[in-house]
Amino acid sequence: MATQLPPGIELEKVDDRIMTLNVGPQHPGSGHMRLIIKVDGDYIVSCDPDPGYVHRGEEKMAEYRNYIQNIPHLERPVIHDSCNILYPYCLAVEDLLGIEVPERAKYIRVIGSELNRCTYILYWLAIYGIFLGHSTMFMWPVGDRELFIDLLEAMSGARVTHAYFVPGGVRNDLPANFEERCLRQVDYFEKRLKEYEDIFYQNPVLKQRTEGTGILSRMDAIRLGTTGSVLRASGVDFDVRKKEPYDVYDNLDFETQVLREGDSYARSRVPYLEMFESCRIIKDALKKMPKSGSVRTKLKPNPKGGNDEVYRRVESGRGSLGYHIISNNRPEPYRVKISVGSFRNLICIPYLLKGEKLGNMPAVYWSLNYWPVEADR
């Protein structure tokens, strides 16, 4: 039966072997992002990612607001890692305006950044657990995440969207007795974290589903320009906190976690090991932090950047996160380009899924530490 189709719409030729599947764009399974997958039987022969369902035009919005008004909306792409997405913006604006940050504020920013990194990784881990049908691993991290959310709430007044970092320091000082409370909760969390090893990482079902799937070799990780835990799970020792230390990271005692396997299991394990390092950084920073002093350099009213440009980056929960800001003697930036880890790791998805079994798709996809909202910006 010949059907009349409206212009611009054509039917796909249905082949005998190859079938096209749309994974997404609804939330469960892919997270507001569509993967157009072609399968031959049980094997994926091609994958075409289709992001953009949560594109907000953050870069465009930033051109209409001044340097201070830009703070709250720029953290929206990753609300549960909001300190880290604002961090490079603050560093860049400080460079542009020539602002010195007080010493105590630098330590507070490091503590805030690491607390937020743990919050993000626990959230990601919870979803990885439920992706693989491990519901205990959904409940535990979400419960333990409350420890850090409570600390960040005491710090900034908000549970998720903190808007705590500002150019020139942080918005307000730490509350009384924060240090003791933070130390106590981080100590408890470190003990708790060790239990994850037995229930999740040594679980034979998890190992069977993730070990040996989606292998990314060291050279391919470099060639594809991946970043963050994906890069470190493939054996490249690169962490912006070590390579290009910002604020006080060069004074603090921590190590980068590198694994060599490059499979989904290694990629899921690197963030877990990094949480131990984050706890170490927090405890070290609390010890070395000046006990009093200013936490914010006051900006001049309606500050303007000169005819200048700057590129600054930090290590976020999903890898290196950079801001390229161009100013032209106006209170608003002329152009803000945000380079995020998720968008840089997007290129891995078609690369790794090709030749993989369809059932391994969730295990590979979520191990890439991909956050669709951040990738779209």
Partner 1 sequence: MGSKKKEDVESSESDNEVTESRNDKNKEESTDISTKLTKEEAKKFYEEKGIDLSHDVPIHSIPIPPFEKSMADKIVSKFGQKAVIDYVRPNRIRVNTKREDILDIAYFIRDELKFDHAESVGGVDYPDSKEIEVVYHLGSYTDEQLGNKIIALATKVPREDIPNPGKDSTRTPSLREVFYSVEFHERECFEMFGVYFEGHPDNRRLLLPEDWADIPPFRKDFKIKGR
Binding mask 62-91 for partner 1 (x = CB under 8 A): --x---------------------------
Binding mask 225-254 for partner 1 (x = CB under 8 A): x-----x----x-x---xxx----------
The answer to whether 322 contacts partner 1 (rule: CB under 8 A) is yes
When the beta carbons of 200 and 238 are compared against partner 1, the nearer one is: 238
Selected from 181, 304, 354, 357, the binder of partner 1 by CB under 8 A is 304
CA distance 76 to 97: 24
When the beta carbons of 103 and 309 are compared against partner 1, the nearer one is: 309
Selected from 347, 354, 357, 358, the binder of partner 1 by CB under 8 A is 347
Selected from 326, 354, 357, 358, the binder of partner 1 by CB under 8 A is 326
Residues 261-300 contacting partner 1, CB under 8 A = 300
Selected from 38, 46, 59, 76, the binder of partner 1 by CB under 8 A is 59
The answer to whether 95 contacts partner 1 (rule: CB under 8 A) is yes
Please work out the total of residues on this chain that contact partner 1, with binding judged by CB under 8 A: 50
CB count within 10 Å of CB 175 equals 10
When the beta carbons of 214 and 305 are compared against partner 1, the nearer one is: 305
The answer to whether 61 contacts partner 1 (rule: CB under 8 A) is yes
CA atoms within a 13 Å half-sphere pointing along the CA-CB vector of 38? 13
| Of 163, 179, 183, 196, the residue nearest 69 (C-alpha) | 163
Q: Which residue stretch of 95-103, 139-147, 160-168, 203-211 sits at the interface with partner 1 (rule: CB under 8 A)?
A: 95-103
Nearest approach in angstroms of CB 258 to partner 1 is: 12
When the beta carbons of 199 and 259 are compared against partner 1, the nearer one is: 259
| Of 193, 275, 271, 202, the residue nearest 230 (C-alpha) | 271
The 8-class DSSP code of residue 339 comes to E
When the beta carbons of 240 and 364 are compared against partner 1, the nearer one is: 240
When the beta carbons of 177 and 302 are compared against partner 1, the nearer one is: 302
DSSP codes joined into one string, 343-366: HHHTTHHHHHHTT-BGGGHHHHHH
From residue 103, alpha-carbon distances to 9, 110, 258 in Å are 61, 11, 30
The answer to whether 324 contacts partner 1 (rule: CB under 8 A) is yes
214 backbone φψ class: left, alpha, beta (φ>0; ψ -120 to 50):
left
Strand, helix or coil for residue 180 = helix
Selected from 339, 354, 357, 358, the binder of partner 1 by CB under 8 A is 339
Q: Do residues 273 and 117 touch, judged by C-beta distance below 8 A?
A: no
Handedness of CA 364, 131, 48, 227 (dihedral sign): negative
**Residues written for the chain:** 377
| Of 341, 321, 353, 335, the residue nearest 44 (C-alpha) | 353
Q: CA torsion angle for 277, 280, 281, 286 (degrees, to 10)?
A: 160
Selected from 41, 57, 143, 157, the binder of partner 1 by CB under 8 A is 57
CA distance 130 to 27: 13
When the beta carbons of 151 and 231 are compared against partner 1, the nearer one is: 231
Interface residues toward partner 1, by CB under 8 A: 51-52, 55, 57, 59-61, 64, 95-98, 222-225, 231, 236, 238, 242-244, 300-306, 308-311, 313, 320, 322, 324, 326, 328-330, 334-335, 337, 339, 343-344, 346-347, 376
